[in-house]
Amino acid sequence: MEAFGPEEMCHVGSRVVRHAPRYARSMTALPDAVTDGTVAAHPLTAAGTPLTTHLPDGILLDAAQRSAAAALGAPHRHGAYLWGAVGRGKSLLAEAYFEALPTRRKRRVHFHDFFLELQGSLGTRRTPLDRAVTRLVGGSRAILFDEFHVHDVADAVYLTTTLRHLIEHDVLLIATSNDAPDELMPGLWHEHFVPAIRLIEQHLDLIEIADGEDYRGVAPELRPTTGFTAGSWVLGAARESLPAIDLTTDAGIALTVRERSQGRIAATFDDLCGAPLATPQYLWLAEQAAALTILDVPDLRTVHREALLRFCHLIDVLYDRDVRVDVHARAPIARPVAAGVPARSLERALSRISALRH
């Protein structure tokens, strides 16, 4: 990956940060605020970042995306938090921006993977949390957290420590999310995430991509032959019951599948979403399979909250790891109505499965 010198950079447009008044930065809360009310830019962003020159060929941004690209490409002090509805190109813009940053000491990491690695370090080495974060960040000058969302109270604690470390050590942070900061981790445990929300609001530039077309739909002639979007959502009666095959993850957690052969795994909806599994088990499963078939998926409108949440997490992992998924379902794709499931999680999962052939 080539590094770019300051002389090769240019501004991509005027800065347009769309946020509500409650997200206004508190300059007095920033340790590096200067007396005239301005904040010095992070060295990696001081000259602006040529975001649009790193987009894939043939990509045309709509008006809202161009505004977000201009805001993202402008100087930042500690980084930026890019958020908006599903399918609006957040990852595309963030990846292009990150590619253009003038350093090789940068790390892209998916949210799930980072915290799984952090939990592993804490569990196996009995390492204090702050030291484990320091080890994982290493010498990185910039980190990209893609698909920023929190459902676990432990991750909320880990994330607060991680954010403080990045800010204190002047590591540039770029994050993408479907949620505005104060919408992260809704529900009973929200209060545990408030310290992290305050850090995000005070130290990162908040950039919203306004609502518009969901670009995740794939034209048939452009459909890939491998990976998540090569998969399908097929309607039909349940297949004849297959015998259970018991697997054990590296962490010693048992899970059940129905077939395992040559990089392909098949399991029922109940096997994967009815059982008390979580993101670490889905990540392990994604490592074992280039393709996963989910059998006997019920009408999503009839699924109870816990199973539906697990299904959303499973789809997140399969999409992020680009594992082909073929769904054998009893009903067409439909918006679930289970109470207590975060709306953004549902929207994200529906957008992703809508990209499957159906």
Asked whether the predicted pLDDT for residue 268 surpasses 60, the reply is yes
**Rounded percentage of the chain residues whose pLDDT exceeds 90:** 31
Among 49-53, 106-110, 153-157, 305-309, the range of highest mean pLDDT: 305-309
3-state DSSP call for residue 245? strand
Which overall architecture, per CATH, does domain 6-209 show? 3-Layer(aba) Sandwich (3.40)
Output the pLDDT for position 277.
94
Q: What is the mean pLDDT of the chain?
A: 79
CB 298 within 8 A of CB 338: no
Host H or E run for residue 328: strand 324-329
> Mean pLDDT over residues 3-10, rounded?
30
3-state DSSP call for residue 142? strand
State both tokens at 177. Answer: 């999310």
Q: How far is CA 123 from CA 128, 129, 132, 265, 276, in A?
A: 10, 10, 10, 29, 21
Instruction: Give rounded-to-5 percent helix, strand, coil for the chain.
Output: 40, 20, 40
The set of residues, in sequence order, having a beta carbon less than 8 Å from that of 120 and lying 6+ positions away, is none
- Each as own residue / partner, the long-range contacts of residues 334-340 (CB below 8 Å, 24 or more positions apart, any chain) are 334/299, 334/300, 334/301, 335/300, 335/301, 336/300, 336/301, 336/303, 336/308, 337/301, 338/303, 338/304, 338/305, 338/308, 339/305, 340/187, 340/305
Candidate from 81-90, 250-259, 309-318, 340-349 with smallest mean pLDDT:
340-349
First CA to last CA distance, the chain? 38
Output the pLDDT for position 216.
58
Output the pLDDT for position 186.
62
The residue among 261 and 343 whose pLDDT is bigger is 261
- The structure tokens 């893609």 sit at 146
State both tokens at 35. Answer: 């007396």
The domain segmentation of the chain, as residue ranges, is: 6-209, 220-354
For 226-235, the pLDDT digits (tens) are: 788 888 898 8
CB 158 within 8 A of CB 196: no
Candidate from 21-30, 103-112, 340-349 with smallest mean pLDDT:
21-30
**Rounded percentage of the chain residues whose pLDDT exceeds 70:** 79
Position 339 confidence tier, pLDDT thresholds 50, 70, 90 = low
For 291-321, the pLDDT digits (tens) are: 999 999 999 888 988 999 999 999 999 998 8
- The structure tokens 């299904």 sit at 311
The dihedral sign for the CA sequence 277, 281, 283, 287: negative
C-alpha 295/C-alpha 262 separation (Å) is 18
> Mean pLDDT over residues 54-70, rounded?
83
Output the pLDDT for position 22.
32
Helices (H), 18-110: 63-73, 90-100
Per the DSSP assignment, residues forming a β-bridge with 357 are 232
For 146-161, the pLDDT digits (tens) are: 878 776 677 778 888 8
For 172-217, the pLDDT digits (tens) are: 999 998 888 888 776 666 777 888 899 999 999 999 988 766 555 5
Output the pLDDT for position 35.
31
Among 134-143, 205-214, 332-341, the range of highest mean pLDDT: 134-143
Asked whether the predicted pLDDT for residue 271 surpasses 90, the reply is yes
Q: 343 exposed, middle or buried (CB, 10 Å; 0-12, 13-18, 19+)? A: exposed
Q: What is the DSSP letter of 302?
A: G
CB 142 within 8 A of CB 106: yes
Per the DSSP assignment, residues forming a β-bridge with 267 are 294
Q: 275 exposed, middle or buried (CB, 10 Å; 0-12, 13-18, 19+)? A: middle
